[in-house]
Chain A
Amino acid sequence: MNNTYSETAPAAGTRKFDVESIRSDFPILARKINGRNLIYLDNAATSQKPRQVIKSLTDYYEQTNANVHRGVHTLSIEATDEYELARSKVANFINAPRPEEVIWTRNTSESLNLVAATWAEQNVGEGDNIVITAMEHHSNIVPWQQLAARKKAELRYLAAGEDGLLDISNLESIVDSRTRLVAMTHMSNVLGTVNPVRELADRAHAVGAVILVDAAQSVPHMPVDVRSLDVDFLCFSAHKMLGPTGIGVLWGRYDLLEEMPPYMFGGDMILEVTYEDANWNKLPYKFEAGTPNIADAIATGAAVDYLNDLGMDNVWLHEQELTVYAMEKFSALNEVKILGPKDPTLRGGVVSFIHETIHPHDLGTALDQQGIAIRTGHHCAMPLIRSFDVVAAARASFYIYNTKSEIDALVNGIRETEGYFSR
């Protein structure tokens, strides 16, 4: 299987990947939950933050705080430099050709909505179609449903097979000459499936369509290179990759961004305003109306530094190791059924499962009693969850600070819960 993550530039890292030393960077891991050591396995929802990122926030507010791009005083210049440096770090992280292609947003959802409200608003018309997949997060479904309804366009789905993999056997007929946009998740937040982005990008481009990738679950966990993936838009959130909440990224190809109308209007995004009219500032500022989220952008830069020190190849390998281990341990739990690909190498560190007799919420409460945080519910992917004929699932998802012994604790926790409910 030719997974796209492996086609990226090497990301070796300079720091030894030592989980104990990584763990010591995360203050929250010292917390007790219900008297037990916290075991945090809800990383697909949001990651924890290392000291380095928290410190970058406090340093900024204590040392540098000023508004950006306006004013000639020292603090404003420093704040602007740091803010723009963070943008460059993010651009390098995804191998973007130019930093101006990186637009700060609030999160993945806003990045997706931005494209829907600007590029798609201008480029999708009646009778056109938009292709998404059956394993999208609601954030990458609803904006396209709304757009399709508004434009009398068709929303098409690539199916997810029984094996949890994207079914691209009929790619040629689904992505056709009327396709304007393919919008797909790089990695499913429910199944863990890593999708063949490059293959879809090639097909999209062959019919003159544009491809957008929801990289909320991939950028935090594997090397992602927008050039080797050959995509046009990439969306992700800082909070899932060690960064703060409230900030996300839209990366777009320069020529596309140039053609797009602004998303919001106000200060910073204009070049010149008269009483009658205004014209738009250059990229990326055209899309950043008003005072931006300066502190969180800078802290996102610190998160990128942290991940680069470890090396994204090593991050991915660590999570692969945990996923292989978890799937092996889970196979001994007779009442547990894992969703998604059986082959751990085709998926990331997200393991969703259904227990035959214990509802995910009861399991979630019981594990919380043991200090173990997992996600329960529909995972913002209702259509996908329902396709398994259930209404909710449990999910354990891993990151750089998780260990095999935490997975053992999870498996024991499930066993204890089984014992409790069969008493």
Chain B
Amino acid sequence: MTGGMSGLSDMDDLYEAIILDHYRSPRNTAPVEEPDIDLDVNNPFCGDEFHIQLKVDDDAVSQVGITGRGCAISQASASLLAELVKGKSTDDVHTAVDLIRRLLKGEELTDEEADVLGDIEALAGVRKFPVRIKCALLSWIGLDDALKEFSSTK
């Protein structure tokens, strides 16, 4: 972790290096051709918004593209999400989204569960800043809901 400036070092838990890295260079932002899922999610209160595109083959996410604008937490979280879902089965994605929800609610995860999340555990720092939890969760919940709907209409 990089030490923050004098008055702001308490924010280091929120803005871990990995979060800032994903914020500055979000991954998987290229548009997906002929996506199976193409949705916009936004939180008008914060002004966070995303465009999420997924291609699903044999019940697994084969391609993902997420772009958006908003705060560092929401954008980094979406980039981490994009990295995670690529190549995962829809069931694995639901499991990961449940884990993230539990993590941000303040539950302790087992070592195996933490392994599933990997880098994404860096988002846990948001727990100290409850008003920012929705920033972290927005893209996750949007994607999860869309994927559930997609699976059920197939």
Chains A and B are bound partners: yes
List residues of A whose CB falls within 8 A of some B CB: 34, 36, 359-362, 365-366, 369-370, 377-378, 382, 385, 390-392, 416-417, 419-421, 423
Residues of the B chain whose Cβ atoms lie less than 8 Å from the Cβ of A34: 10
Asked if B11 and A366 make an inter-chain contact with CB atoms under 8 angstroms apart, the answer reads yes
Asked if A417 and B47 make an inter-chain contact with CB atoms under 8 angstroms apart, the answer reads no
The answer to the question of B81 belonging to the interface, with a C-beta cut-off of 8 Å to chain A, is no
Contact with A along B132-150 (1 / 0, CB 8 A): 1001000000000000000
Give A383 to B148 CA distance when docked, in angstroms: 33
Q: Closest chain A residue to B4 by CB distance? A: A420
Give A360 to B7 CA distance when docked, in angstroms: 18
A41 smallest CB distance to B (angstroms): 17
The answer to the question of B109 belonging to the interface, with a C-beta cut-off of 8 Å to chain A, is no
Instruction: Pull 21 A–B residue pairs with CB atoms less than 8 Å apart, ordered by A.
Output: A359-B70, A360-B71, A361-B71, A361-B135, A362-B73, A365-B11, A365-B14, A365-B129, A369-B7, A369-B10, A369-B11, A377-B47, A390-B47, A391-B44, A391-B47, A392-B46, A416-B5, A417-B8, A420-B11, A421-B15, A423-B5
Asked if B47 and A392 make an inter-chain contact with CB atoms under 8 angstroms apart, the answer reads yes
Partner of A378, one of B45, B71, B72: B45
Give A377 to B70 CA distance when docked, in angstroms: 11
Residues of the A chain whose Cβ atoms lie less than 8 Å from the Cβ of B105: none
Contact with A along B1-23 (1 / 0, CB 8 A): 01011111011001100001000
Residues of the A chain whose Cβ atoms lie less than 8 Å from the Cβ of B2: 423
Give A385 to B46 CA distance when docked, in angstroms: 12
Asked if B4 and A423 make an inter-chain contact with CB atoms under 8 angstroms apart, the answer reads yes
Asked if A366 and B71 make an inter-chain contact with CB atoms under 8 angstroms apart, the answer reads no
Partner of B8, one of A378, A382, A390, A420: A420
Interface centre among B20, B71, B129 (most CB of A within 10 A): B71
Asked if B11 and A391 make an inter-chain contact with CB atoms under 8 angstroms apart, the answer reads no
Asked if A421 and B47 make an inter-chain contact with CB atoms under 8 angstroms apart, the answer reads no
Residues of the B chain whose Cβ atoms lie less than 8 Å from the Cβ of A392: 46-47
Given contacts A421-B15, A423-B20, 12 further A-B contacts (CB under 8 A): A361-B132, A365-B11, A366-B8, A366-B11, A369-B7, A377-B45, A378-B47, A391-B48, A392-B46, A392-B47, A416-B5, A421-B20
Residues of the B chain whose Cβ atoms lie less than 8 Å from the Cβ of A360: 47, 71
Asked if A391 and B69 make an inter-chain contact with CB atoms under 8 angstroms apart, the answer reads yes
Residues of the B chain whose Cβ atoms lie less than 8 Å from the Cβ of A385: 47
Residues of the A chain whose Cβ atoms lie less than 8 Å from the Cβ of B42: 391
Asked if B7 and A370 make an inter-chain contact with CB atoms under 8 angstroms apart, the answer reads yes
Give A378 to B48 CA distance when docked, in angstroms: 11
Asked if A391 and B49 make an inter-chain contact with CB atoms under 8 angstroms apart, the answer reads yes
Give A361 to B46 CA distance when docked, in angstroms: 7
Residues of the A chain whose Cβ atoms lie less than 8 Å from the Cβ of B73: 361-362
Give A417 to B72 CA distance when docked, in angstroms: 13
A418 smallest CB distance to B (angstroms): 10
Residues of the A chain whose Cβ atoms lie less than 8 Å from the Cβ of B20: 421, 423
Residues of the A chain whose Cβ atoms lie less than 8 Å from the Cβ of B71: 359-362
Asked if A419 and B47 make an inter-chain contact with CB atoms under 8 angstroms apart, the answer reads no
Task: Please name the 9 residue pairs, one residue from A and one from B, whose CB atoms are nearest each other, closest first.
Answer: A391-B47, A392-B47, A359-B71, A361-B71, A420-B8, A362-B71, A362-B72, A370-B7, A420-B5
A45 smallest CB distance to B (angstroms): 14
Give A133 to B110 CA distance when docked, in angstroms: 56
Asked if B5 and A378 make an inter-chain contact with CB atoms under 8 angstroms apart, the answer reads no
Q: Closest chain A residue to B6 by CB distance? A: A416
Give A420 to B12 CA distance when docked, in angstroms: 10
Contact with A along B25-50 (1 / 0, CB 8 A): 00000000000000000101111110
Interface centre among B11, B15, B47, B71 (most CB of A within 10 A): B47
Give A391 to B40 CA distance when docked, in angstroms: 15
Give A361 to B71 CA distance when docked, in angstroms: 6
Asked if B72 and A359 make an inter-chain contact with CB atoms under 8 angstroms apart, the answer reads yes
Q: Which B residues from 30 to 84 make CB contacts under 8 A with A?
A: 42, 44-49, 69-73
Q: Closest chain B residue to A363 by CB distance? A: B71
Give A377 to B44 CA distance when docked, in angstroms: 8
A377 smallest CB distance to B (angstroms): 6
